[in-house]
Amino acid sequence: MFKLIIADDERLIREALSTTINWKDLDIELTGICRNGIEAYDMILDESPDIVLTDIRMPGMSGLDLIRRTSEAGIPVQFILLSGYGEFEYAKTAMQYGVKHYILKPYDDQQIIDCIQQCKKDCCQVRLNSHLGMEHFTAQSNILHNVMSSIFNDCICQDRRLDSILDNYEQYIDFHFTSYKLLYVYYLAFENLEHFLGLIKDYVKKNLPQTIIYGVYVNHTLLLFFQNTGNNCRQLRTFIEQLSLPEQDVTLETQLTTYSSLKNLLEDAVCKLKRFGMIYYINNFHAIYTCNYNNVISQLQALYTQMLQGGTDSLAQVEELLNGISNIEFLKQLTGNLLLKITASQPSQSTLELTNWLIQLDRETDLALLREMVLTKLKDIIQAGLTSVQYSSMTQQIFDYVNKNLQDSNLSLKGIAENHLFMNVDYVSKKFYRETGKKFSHYLTEMRIQHAKDLMKANPFASIQTIAMQIGCGNNPKYFSQLFKKQEGITPTEYMGK
């Protein structure tokens, strides 16, 4: 599903756009309706929409200024411009920022729908072409594979609803708004599984770089699933169907299904997987037996609950359980599952630190050293849990990052979430609001205005342009003045003259 924001200063147009088109049928979530460009920009910072449908002429900040500022901030948004006759010069300027879609008023619904459909294709292409740094991608891939294997473990080994299981992992991955593809590979013999996965790994590395592919193998059937970023599956299907594998008497067959969200995919897949006793999770193209040691898993879950309640005695029982596990891959999977849940429920735990720890965990090859790593980490977590904190580690990290980078005019919650927290931006936005009572954009504005006031008190003769640059409004004193007056009720010049 794609997220849409509508911005227009005319109430009748806003209402018509929001009600006359069935957005749900278009796989669109209407995230917000804004009266002007400033409201729209704040909502872009908070909600990270895929598409913004905006008028050109609006008070406070025009549609053109909105496009320029969003582009300069590096926020990937597809814009659709609405304008009256005689404003084509504005549209030409907008096109310099990559805007492709321009609709003249009066418009009809079909014009809007056609533009939305094209924007969805463009969004998919942007996602496909957005390359993370290799170190960043590796860290993100490792933690997301740990998340997915933990989800399958929980679904198969616990008698709980899927919704309650996914609640533990919302901070890491979007379960509701991103479309996914599920590719079934039928008649794949277990003896050929590792060889097959090696061939797929090489293919993906060359043809689908930085695509995270999850998988589950059961009863001669492999399920591969990944984000739907456009037509990235046709060639993969052809490659698979043409593979020649040793001792593979039956030709491989494939079937492709598209889901509007990861949650819908998991609901379908888990229901089928529960029928089988032997299930393998595909972690970075390596098969790991996920459904063994059911008794160990249930005991560890109980001890985990006791630890969260301050039960330090349970640590000795955990050590005894870990000493009974001789399969190093299963130990990695089990402890990754445990640590993910602890991090999700304890405010003091940092997702970034957990990511780095899971990378070290994955590299360890000595079983005894691995057990020692896990116990040390658990002791640290229990100790940290004894200290109460006002805000979660996630929110505190946002505070710290904003404080250190306030002069950066491109600050956005999406950038912080994806590049520094390795977390799902929708989860971060909701959790930040729950803990602070503020939208991120409002917090950012408050910090910038407060810093501006401090700078003006320290240097009453500083120019408005200089102050604007120092607080992250870039070379745009007009925008700074608008923000300041909205926040303080007077202009910066009036404030300095007080």
What is the side-by-side strand order in the sheet with 2-7? 28-34, 2-7, 51-55, 78-83, 101-104
> How many Cβ atoms from other residues are within 10 Å of residue 255's Cβ?
11
**Tokens at 397, concatenated:** 């990290």
- Residue length of the chain: 498
> Among the residues of 459-496, which ranges form H helices?
464-470, 477-488, 492-496
State mean pLDDT over 2-21.
Answer: 92
Hey, where are the domains in the chain?
2-129, 134-289, 311-385, 404-496
Write out 389-439 in H/E/C secondary structure. CCCCHHHHHHHHHHHHCCCCCCCCHHHHHHHHHCCCHHHHHHHHHHHHCCC
Please report the pLDDT score of residue 310 as a whole number: 61
> How many Cβ atoms from other residues are within 10 Å of residue 266's Cβ?
23
pTM, 2 dp: 0.62
Write out 413-427 in H/E/C secondary structure. HHHHHHHHHCCCHHH
Query: Do residues 14 and 35 lie in contact, with contact meaning Cβ atoms separated by under 8 Å?
Result: yes
> Among the residues of 130-246, which ranges form H helices?
134-157, 162-166, 193-207, 234-241
> Does residue 292 surpass a pLDDT of 50?
no
Tracing tokens 């598409």 back to the chain, one arrives at 51
Residue of 356, 351, 329 whose CA lies nearest to 340: 351
User: Which residues contact residue 420 at a Cβ distance below 8 angstroms, ignoring those fewer than 6 apart?
Assistant: 352, 397, 401
Please report the pLDDT score of residue 272 as a whole number: 84
Could you please report the per-residue DSSP string of 42-58?
HHHHHH--SEEEEES--
**2-129: what fold?**
Rossmann fold (3.40.50)
> Which phi and psi angles does 259 have, rounded to 5°?
-120, 145
CA distance 44 to 41: 5
State mean pLDDT over 55-64.
Answer: 86
> Does residue 40 surpass a pLDDT of 90?
yes
Q: Give the side-chain half-sphere CA count within 13 A for 289.
A: 10
CA distance 449 to 144: 37
CA distance 373 to 394: 24
CA-CA distances (angstroms) from residue 276 to 57, 104, 182, 273? 60, 57, 19, 6
CA distance 121 to 230: 7
> Which phi and psi angles does 102 have, rounded to 5°?
-140, 120
Please report the pLDDT score of residue 131 as a whole number: 52
Residue of 193, 180, 367 whose CA lies nearest to 278: 193
> Among the residues of 309-350, which ranges form H helices?
314-323, 328-345
Please report the pLDDT score of residue 8 as a whole number: 92
Tracing tokens 């494939």 back to the chain, one arrives at 254
Could you please report the per-residue DSSP string of 303-316?
HHHHHHTT-TTHHH
Question: pLDDT tier at 304 (50, 70, 90 boundaries)?
Answer: low
pLDDT per residue as tens digits for the range 367-424: 889 988 888 887 777 666 655 556 777 888 899 999 999 999 889 999 898 888 888 8
104 three-class SS: strand
State mean pLDDT over 198-221.
Answer: 89
> Which phi and psi angles does 19 have, rounded to 5°?
-115, -25
pLDDT per residue as tens digits for the range 410-457: 899 998 988 888 888 888 999 899 888 889 999 999 999 999 999 998
State mean pLDDT over 308-312.
Answer: 62
76 three-class SS: coil
pLDDT per residue as tens digits for the range 327-375: 787 788 778 877 777 766 665 566 667 777 888 888 888 988 998 888 8
**404-496: what fold?**
Arc Repressor Mutant, subunit A (1.10.10)
**Tokens at 337, concatenated:** 């599952």
244 three-class SS: coil
pLDDT per residue as tens digits for the range 247-256: 778 889 999 9
**Tokens at 280, concatenated:** 């393998």
490 three-class SS: coil
> Does residue 59 surpass a pLDDT of 50?
yes
Q: Quote the radius of gyration of the chain (alpha carbons, Å).
A: 26
> How many Cβ atoms from other residues are within 10 Å of residue 139's Cβ?
18
Chosen CATH of 134-289 out of 3.30.70, 3.30.460, 3.10.620, 1.25.40: 3.30.70
CA distance 96 to 83: 17
Please report the pLDDT score of residue 186 as a whole number: 94
**Tokens at 139, concatenated:** 């860290």
pLDDT per residue as tens digits for the range 458-479: 888 888 899 999 999 887 888 8
How many separate helices (H) and strands (E) can be counted in the chain?
22, 11
